[in-house]
Amino acid sequence: MSAIHWFRKGLRLHDNPALMAALNPLEEGEVLTLRPVFVLDPWFVKNANVGENRWRFLQQSLVDLNTSLNKLGSRLFVLKGKPDEVFEKYIKKWEVKKMTWEIDTEPYAVSRDAQIQKLAEDNDILVETFTSHTLYNPEQIIAKNKGDVPLTYQKLTSLTSALGHPSKPIEAPEEIVKAAKLSKEDRDKTRYDPPSLKDLGLNAKDLELCKFAGGETEALERLSEKVSMANAKWVRAFEKPATSPNSLEPSTTVLSPYLKFGCLSPRLFYWKLEEVYKGAKHSQPPVSLHGQLLWREFFYTVGANTPNFDKMEGNRVCRQVPWDEDEEKLIAWKEGRTGFPYIDAIMTQLRKEGWIHHLARHSVACFLTRGDLWQSWEKGQEVFEEYLLDADWSLNAGNWMWLSASAFFHQFFRVYSPVAFGKKTDKEGDYIKKYLPQLKKYPSRYIYEPWEAPLSVQKAAGCVIGTDYPRPIVDHAVVSKENIAKMKAAYAANKENGGDSKRKGSGSEEPKAKKQKKLDGFVKSKK
């Protein structure tokens, strides 16, 4: 007889209550063979827009998880196929009596898990589920708010303060082998091993250099490096706006991909921060590292309880905006060919490395939507879903609505400059030179606006604008003002149609932070 722990997002051994529950016998003295399972679900291949870097990160995470399980006398069973069909076969083959998994609040996951729950019940299998991908159970937060979804960050933090600190993380199991010996078939490497890159349709030679390796081992090493007493000064002083979006190396923790895949427990992250903060002066939410975890909590809570959260139509928190549909502009933005070096460098880094700074995300998202190109945030969301290692469904949708001023943020007249913002933290343009090497010989005075350089300078730099690098696809000074007027009209139309009243509280201002006016990079225009 067996117990299955079904790994999905929580690709780790530490702070995994569902895994620990799978180790518990149904009755005293009863031994169940634990089979840790991951299902390669074809739904994601067909419906999710997953790029090469994210597939590689998942593959690395599965290999790392299998290695860690091997050390405990167990292994990861990677099964291929639709979850209902896979489990219908294996619960009989393995005589399964118990299944455990971590709760997932994404729409597909909710319907999928309900299906497996029904299958288990029909076969008299005990199912135990646990919340460990977020600090709190979203339903707990909703209940604390008298059944309403908190639509502002301030409201969310007032609720979490009332709930108190999240639970402390639990330790990883010390061993698994004593629960039950695996059979020879169970140990068959060719049958159940994690997929190779080739198995996933990837050619290692075609992939960019891996800058952020997947897996729990890497996650814990990065956490130990970034959040420690040795790095206490930086952790305590951390303020989200006060980091550089265009530094040559990341100016933040880059722990978000590990949180997204569940290689790192958010509760472990939270309590490690508590250790460093204890007894010392430190930054506070919303700009602190604790604050960033609570932003994650905010979007998870709203996303879990808002139908059509990743779409404009049918989304009760999202303003309806008549965006344009211009495929050429969208592709130019996606491929880093807008003619604005700062924007193009960011999109190049995103495509190559799978990660960009949060303020860089703000810049390119604003540029695509309300700032310059007037394209739907849904299109940008799709591109981020493909390229970002940390493309988390609720966070991706929520942030795109925010940055397009479609929800949560209403100061649409505050527009990021695609020229001025980058200069604040990188006057010489080293970041641009790194990701757009065709511009590396340009003098710093022209690096953000190479079209302003005399032709002689362009030729001397070996990059003629319009030939070797594109001209700007829009006139920012003109279109930004036009788009502000369009946004104003869209807001008025939503108000007239009663849309804003339905979104009570959803248009709240971003919480103010020290130094924000100097560092957020917005250019203020008249309404």
Are 513 and 240 within 8 A, CB to CB? yes
Do 121 and 143 share a domain, yes or no? no
Please compute the mean of the pLDDT values over residues 303-312 and round it to a whole number: 97
CATH code for the domain in which residue 59 is found: 3.40.50.620
Question: What is the rounded distance in angstroms from the CA atom of residue 283 to the CA atom of residue 302?
Answer: 25
Q: Is residue 96 part of a domain?
A: yes
pLDDT digits (tens, 9 = 90+) for 23-73: 988 877 677 899 999 999 999 988 889 999 999 999 999 999 999 999 998
pTM of the predicted structure, to 2 decimals: 0.93
Question: Does pLDDT of 516 surpass 60?
Answer: no
Q: What is the CATH number of the domain that holds 147?
A: 1.25.40.80
Same domain (yes/no): 363, 486: yes
Q: Are residues 113 and 147 in the same domain?
A: no
- pLDDT of residue 180 exceeding 80, the answer is no
**pLDDT bracket for residue 258 (50, 70, 90):** very high
Is 196 inside a domain boundary?
no
Residue 6 CB burial class (10 angstroms; 0-12, 13-18, ≥19): buried
> What is the rounded (10 degree) CA torsion for 353, 356, 360, 363?
70
Residues 71 and 143 in one domain: no
- Residue 507: pLDDT band by 50, 70, 90 thresholds? very low
**153 and 50 together in one domain:** no
Per cent of the chain over pLDDT 90 is 85
Q: What's the CATH code of the domain at 515?
A: 1.10.579.10
pLDDT digits (tens, 9 = 90+) for 103-128: 999 999 999 999 999 999 999 999 99
Tell whether the model's pLDDT for residue 508 goes beyond 60. no
Q: What is the pLDDT at residue 204?
A: 86
Please tell me the total number of residues recorded for the chain in this structure: 527
Confidence of residue 101 (pLDDT cuts 50, 70, 90): very high
Q: Is 70 exceeded by the pLDDT of residue 236?
A: yes
- Which of 106, 132, 158 is the last residue in one of the domains? 132
Are 295 and 428 part of one and the same domain? no
| Average pLDDT value for the chain | 92
Confidence of residue 503 (pLDDT cuts 50, 70, 90): low
Model confidence at 514, pLDDT cuts 50, 70, 90, reads very low
Q: How many CB atoms lie within 10 A of CB 449?
A: 18
The whole domain housing 9 covers: 1-132
If you average pLDDT over residues 81-96, what whole number do you get? 96
- The predicted pLDDT at position 32 comes to 86
In this structure, is residue 204 part of a structural domain? no
Same-domain check for residues 247 and 124: no
The pLDDT assigned to 378 comes to 98
- Segment 363-376 mean pLDDT: 98
Residue 282 confidence class, pLDDT cut points 50, 70, 90? very high
* Angle, in degrees to the nearest 10, between helices 289-304 and 153-163: 100
Alpha carbon distance 321, 400 (integer Å) = 13
**pLDDT band of 504, cuts 50, 70, 90:** low
Question: Among 364, 365, 380, which residue's Cα sits nearest to residue 330?
Answer: 380
pLDDT at 527 over 80: no
Residue 523 confidence (pLDDT) above 60: no
Tell me, yes or no, whether 157 and 109 share the same domain.
no
In a domain, 178, yes or no: no
Q: What is the pLDDT of residue 83?
A: 98
pLDDT at 187: 77
Q: Which pLDDT value is given to residue 123?
A: 97
191 found inside a domain: no
Domains in the chain, number = 3
301 and 424, same domain (yes or no):
no
Answer yes or no: is pLDDT of 191 > 70.
yes
User: What confidence score (pLDDT) does residue 184 get?
Assistant: 78
**Ramachandran category for residue 168: left, alpha or beta (phi over 0 → left; psi -120 to 50 → alpha):** beta
Say yes or no to pLDDT of 437 above 80.
Answer: yes
**222: pLDDT confidence band, cut at 50, 70 and 90?**
very high
Alpha-carbon torsion 466, 374, 346, 60, what sign? Answer: negative
Are 379 and 245 within one domain?
no
Q: Read off the pLDDT of residues 455-481 as tens digits, 9 standing for 90 and up.
A: 999 999 999 999 999 999 999 999 999
Contact call for residues 367 and 333 (beta carbons, < 8 A): yes
192, part of any domain? no
Last residue of a domain, one of 132, 151, 179: 132
The CA distance from 338 to 291, in Å, is: 33
DSSP letter at 273 equals: H
Q: 133 burial class (0-12, 13-18, 19+ CB within 10 angstroms)? A: buried
Residue 210 included in any domain: no
Q: Say what the pLDDT of residue 181 is.
A: 66
Q: Mean of the pLDDT values across residues 309-317?
A: 97
Residues 49 and 128 occupy one common structural domain: yes
Mean pLDDT of 261-268: 98
Band (238; pLDDT cuts 50, 70, 90): very high
Domain match, 351 and 259 both: no
3-class SS string, 40-82? ECHHHHHHCCCCHHHHHHHHHHHHHHHHHHHHCCCCCEEEECC
Q: Note whether residue 200 is domain-resident.
A: no
Residue at which a domain ends, from 253, 275, 305: 305
